[in-house]
Structure 1
Amino acid sequence: MAAETARQRLAPLAEEDTLSLGERAYRRLRESIVQGMLPAGRKISERSIATELGISAQPVREALRRLEQDGMVVTLPRRGTVVAEVGPAQLGELGRIRAALEGVACALAAERIDADSLASLAVILKRMTAGTEAGDTEALDEANEEFHALIHRATGNLFLIRSLGSLRAYDHLGRHRAIGSTPRDLPKALAEHRGIVAALRRHDPALAEARMRHHILRSLVTNGVLPPPPRPMRRP
């Protein structure tokens, strides 16, 4: 009971939002898990969550089914639905999977991306440059989300888009728990994003995949989700 009163209540969903109630409930619950408002092991009541969000139980039920598919909640005997425990080892494994899928997505995007999408990426890069120079991590996070989402859309592959959307939640969870980047890491990330866009402009799938995969793995190491790769042994 004390844990219930200590937890922040979920903000009601706004009626003017254009997404479906199920989608909005899914995103709100996923964000609450990532931010720690709904900690691991916490039991989730459909009825209480629906009351807090100001909606009926059906969209909440739909959201919980999706979260269970994502592995963020589990249904246990005699306990019901609880928030899943995602440890460092699992975050690392999921990070490697995401790096591979992001690479595949970038390769497909290099084959299919059009001039309008490339122009939009150029605009995002300008925002990233400004955010890097100002050290504005909030603006950089927003631009980074748009950057990857645009590349995902350029693939035209709905399965890949949905799979990466689910894995992004674990990326946020890892970053929320991680040590985090320092200002010195920001120019490195900007250079990597520029390199990815250059490969997309050349419509070079192999180069785009390699650069994207390197970028994701490097960011996971920077954020402490993955250990640094072993240094090559020097020959005597």
Structure 2
Amino acid sequence: MAAAETARGRLAPLAEEETLSLGERAYRRLRASIVQGMLPPGGKISERGLATQLGISAQPVREALQRLEQDGMVITLPRRGTVVAEVGPAQLAELGRIRAALEGVAAALAAERLEAGALAAFAAILARMKAGTETADHEALDAANEDFHARIHHATGNPFLIRSLGSLRAYDHLGRCRAVGSMPRDLPRALREHQGIVAALRRRDPTLAEARMRAHVLRSLVTNGVLRPPRGKRSP
């Protein structure tokens, strides 16, 4: 029996990665490489070289680089070609504030549009977050957090907002990679914030959902050192 088949002779469902186009896969791989520092700021990028490393043709790499340029993660310079953009602390802070505003809008729209059945999924995500908080499992918390935000974005049904937030979250990852990281004492606060956002979604209260989401994102940016604490207040 073929490896792709189950014991009962049914074809196993494709993993998400297998259903993506080569251009999308190249985009995700290159974006992750920039975030992780494998492609350093200011480094020149060779379309042909990347295609060779990835084992694909130049066309999907070209598509990926065009998207990364739209995201502001690579730039094309005269006589130098394409290079990885240098994103400094000030730009990360600006992009973080923009993301906080858009995440708030997404939460407001989700509060209005989420189907009753979709709300049940958040209970399972909160349970994962609670377990990860109790064991300080940052990897599990990161995965649950990604799922949490992705479900809210999807619930908006707004393609422009979803694309915009997808691009901005890459900068969020970049900021977190440069940060020292959250201390265990910060984790219960983040859990309470997520619980509060879900409570607002259940109440179908877009104003409260937006306010709580925006406050959560801004607080996390302060914790990770991307934003400075408001004047007169200490870092949470």
| Corresponding residue of 1:23 | 24
Alpha-carbon distance in 2 for matches of 1:117, 1:131: 22
Partner-residue secondary structure (3-state), 1:17: helix
Match of 2:152 in 1: 151
1:105 paired residue number: 106
Give the Cα–Cα distance (whole angstroms) in 2 for the partners of residues 116 and 59 of structure 1: 37
**Pairs aligned (count):** 218
Residue 182 of structure 1: how far off its partner (Å): 0.1
In the alignment, structure 2 segments of 5+ residues that lack a partner are 1-14
Alignment-derived partner of residue 42 in structure 2: 41
Q: Which runs of 4+ in 1 moved over 6 A?
A: none
Aligned ranges 1:59-208 → 2 under 5 Å: 59-208=60-209
Counterpart for residue 231 of structure 1: 232
Letter of the structure 2 residue corresponding to residue 225 of structure 1? V
Query: Which amino acid in structure 2 is aligned with residue 60 of structure 1?
Result: V
Q: What SS does the corresponding residue of 1:42 show, helix, strand or coil? A: coil
The share of aligned pairs that are identical, in percent, is 81
CA distance in 2, matches of 1:204, 1:36: 40
Deviation at 1:152, TM superposition (A): 0.3
Measure, in 2, the Cα distance between the counterparts of 1:105 and 1:57: 35
Normalising to structure 2: TM-score of the pair? 0.91
**Alpha-carbon separation, structure 1, partners of 2:19 and 2:232:** 50
CA apart distance, 1:179:
2.0
Q: Secondary structure at the match of 1:75?
A: strand
**Cα drift, residue 180 of structure 1:** 1.4
**Residue 108 of structure 2 aligns to which amino acid in structure 1?**
A
User: How far is the alpha carbon of 1:78 from its aligned partner?
Assistant: 0.6
With the length of structure 1 as denominator, give the TM-score of the two structures. 0.91
C-alpha distance in structure 1 between counterparts of 2:110 and 2:96, whole Å: 21
CA RMSD, Structure 1 to Structure 2 (Å):
1.1
Q: Which residue of 2 aligns with 1:6?
A: none
Q: What one-letter code is carried by the residue in structure 2 that aligns with 1:48?
A: G
Aligned-partner Cα distance in 1 for 2:19–2:55: 16
In the TM superposition, what is the alpha-carbon distance from 1:117 to its structure 2 partner? 1.5
User: What is the identity, as a one-letter code, of the residue corresponding to 2:23?
Assistant: G
* CA deviation after TM superposition for structure 1 residue 161, in Å: 0.3
Whichever residue aligns with residue 71 of structure 1, its letter is: G
Whole-angstrom CA distance in 1 between matches of 2:173 and 2:148 = 15
